[in-house]
Amino acid sequence: MIEVVYCIRRKAGLSHPEFVAHWEGVQAPIVMANLDVLRLAGYERTVLLAHAFGKRVERRGTMLAPFDGVARLRWASEEDMRHAFEGEEALAVQRLLAQDEANFVDPTASCRWVSRTVRHL
């Protein structure tokens, strides 16, 4: 599997609940409606959780602020990923997703990369 990991920080002026609501209610449905077009083998979203151990885990003041969420998009093959970034119909979906990201993502405080996962369990 090959994947893109996208660590996301919300756009200024949005609360974390507003960010999550937009991601869940607008962006994720676009991805889910286009799984075949993008040839995705997997899509998962992880969102920041307010938790009793949050301060200990996050080490506030000594580490960067946590991301508001992490998206993982997986393809079964390099060929499928290439199609998602070069296929005409897939590029139209990519443009739609990028336009929507402007509504809730701060691109200057977010990051993404291509990777593979190594599982130990």
The confidence score (pLDDT) of residue 15 equals 96
pLDDT tops 90 at residue 115: yes
**CATH number for 81:** 3.30.70.100
Instruction: Look at residue 68 and tell me if it is in a domain.
Output: yes
Instruction: Look at residue 120 and tell me if it is in a domain.
Output: no
Give the Å distances, CA to CA, from 36 to 10, 12, 84, 115.
Answer: 28, 33, 10, 21
Higher-confidence position of 79 and 119: 79
Instruction: Look at residue 78 and tell me if it is in a domain.
Output: yes
Q: How far apart are CA 34 and CA 42, in angstroms?
A: 12
Q: How far apart are CA 68 and CA 15, in angstroms?
A: 10
pLDDT band for position 62 (cuts 50, 70, 90) = confident
pLDDT tops 90 at residue 56: no
Average pLDDT over residues 96-109: 97
Domain around 28? 2-115
pLDDT tops 90 at residue 43: yes
pTM of this structure: 0.88
